[in-house]
Amino acid sequence: SSPFGSSHLLVLPRGNLLLEWQPAPHNSQPSTSTTMVAQRSEASGEGAPMTLSQCAKKLGLVLAYISVSTLLIRFNKMMMQDDHFPFAIVLSAIHMLVSSVLCGGLYLVAPSMFPAMESSKGQVASLMKLFLPIGAFFAVMLYGSNQAYRFCSVALLQFMKEANVMIVFLISCAAGLQSMNRVRLALIVWVIAGASISVSGDLKFSLIGIGFQAASQLAECARVVLGEIALSGRRLDPLTYTSFVSPLCFVVLLVASIFTWEARIVPAMGSCWPLLLMNALVAFALNILVAAVIKEISAVGFVLTGLTKDILIVVLSCLLFREPIRLTQWFAFAMTLGGVGLWSLMKVSPDALPVQLLERALCMPPREAAVDDEKYPLIEKKV
């Protein structure tokens, strides 16, 4: 995931990054980014049977998203090897530079893909002030996630990323955007316990790599929550958001590159520039695919897509790349995925049978009826 994580999306996979960060309208209550996954669009055809071409289009987008996301994660892992380009800050800066240039070119060619750009033109200065800390957090996330590839396996990092959903929720609680109850607490303990077992059982455990990944995840989750607080009421589409964040993130990474510059960077860049360009193009293509998938499939569909992608990444890491995974890690990974899946189901479909059974098992009181359903409301309705 990410989801946005190490896949260099501007979101967290399911929990991962753009995907979960669609600000709510100004007249609605703010909610954590993990609840704002892939709003069902009118194009999804809800209530009407889909044609064969519509089904093929949705399936093609989902398969493309899973494939490109998996490719980028493995690509980044390869690029961070000592014999390629092991300079995480510069690699991340190149990604953001290419993303900025391509977003600008795409806007000139197809401005209709940036529906929120016109309404944002009169408030660029205020938006930039809001986006600066968001870009800084995003830069930290990119650096940490790329650097972690030097020390840890892809499977291990994927195990850790499953906790992102819960980290975002805990930060949202601290910021006053969400409230805790016993069901949520139980799922948080469940997922974090599963992720911890997965990490602690790794045969190639690296405390340094774990530290980089943990810093990356905290920065990413803080960025998502900060974005929700700062931009509540500003309905920005994914590509417009990318157009604002990418240049600011590039500036932050450029400054960091100056202070951490090494003489080896220029020769490595000269020998690897085709791979660097291809790597940045894959990262940008993934951002475009996320924007397209968000429009085409439902929230539940994206959750299932994210879970499928996570499983595929771990399985491929084990089978094709021979990354050792213990039986206890497989068990803990399944436990974590189950918790994340149930959490996502609770968010997108709170009346689903598994959610109701869990609430009853934990002796949760019945959910209060909405104000609109009250016969004698205790709080006066506001028109």
Q: Dig out the tokens for 87 from the structure.
A: 């300079």
Q: What is the pLDDT of residue 381?
A: 46
Nearest to 113 by CA among 125, 99, 103: 103
More confident residue, 245 or 20: 245
Tell whether 45 is covered by a domain: no
Residue 6 lies in a domain: no
What residues contact residue 269 under an 8 Å CB cut-off, 6+ apart? 85, 90, 276
Q: What confidence category does residue 17 fall into, taking pLDDT thresholds of 50, 70 and 90?
A: very low
Query: Please, what is the end-to-end C-alpha distance for the chain in angstroms?
Result: 40
Question: How many angstroms separate the CA atoms of 93 and 85, rounded?
Answer: 13
b (16+ CB within 10 A) / e for 296-316? bbbbbbbbbbbbebbeebbeb
Given a cut of 70, is residue 3 above it in pLDDT? no
Residue 76 belongs to some domain of the structure = yes
pLDDT category at 211 given cuts 50, 70, 90 is: very high
Q: In the structure, what pLDDT confidence band is assigned to residue 288 with cuts at 50, 70 and 90?
A: confident
Question: Would you state the structure tokens that stand for residue 309, as one six-digit string?
Answer: 């992608």
Least confident residue range of 92-96, 359-363, 375-379: 375-379
Task: Please give the residue that has the higher pLDDT: either 163 or 10.
Answer: 163
Q: What is the largest CA-CA distance in the chain?
A: 74
Whether residue 233 is predicted with pLDDT greater than 70 in this model: the reply is no
The model's pLDDT over 180-192, given as tens digits with 9 standing for 90+, comes to 888 889 988 998 8
| % of the chain beyond a pLDDT of 70 | 77
Average pLDDT over residues 207-221: 91
Q: Is pLDDT larger for residue 132 or for residue 35?
A: 132
- Give pLDDT, residue 297: 66
153-167, 260-274, 304-318: which has the minimum mean pLDDT?
304-318
Confidence class for position 154, pLDDT limits 50, 70, 90: confident
Looking at per-residue pLDDT, the higher value among 382 and 134 belongs to 134
Which tokens is 26 given? 């100004």
Residue 81 falls within a domain, yes or no?
Answer: yes
Q: Of 130-144, 269-283, 338-352, which gets the smallest average pLDDT?
A: 338-352
Weakest mean pLDDT among 41-45, 95-99, 140-144, 332-336? 41-45
Whether 7 is in a domain gets the answer no
* Exposure letters 321-335 (e unless 16+ CB within 10 A, then b): eebebeeebeebbeb
Q: Count how many domains the chain has.
A: 1
> What is the per-residue pLDDT across 96-135, written as a single tens digit (0 to 9) for each?
999 999 999 999 999 988 888 888 877 777 788 778 888 8
In the chain, alpha helices (H): 52-79, 88-109, 117-120, 124-148, 154-161, 164-174, 182-200, 207-231, 238-259, 265-296, 299-319, 327-348, 353-361
Tell me whether residue 183 is in a domain: yes
Residue 4 lies in a domain: no
Structural domain that includes position 166: 18-39+50-373
Average pLDDT of the chain is 77
Contacts of 162 (CB under 8 A, 6+ apart): 15, 191, 194, 195, 198, 310, 333, 336, 337, 340
Q: Cβ contacts of residue 215 below 8 Å, gap of 6+? A: 140, 144
Residue 10 lies in a domain: no
Would you place residue 27 in the very low, low, confident or very high pLDDT band (cuts 50, 70, 90)?
A: very low
pTM (two decimals)? 0.70
pLDDT of residue 299: 47
pLDDT at residue 302, as a whole number: 57
Structure confidence at residue 20 as a pLDDT band (50, 70, 90): very low
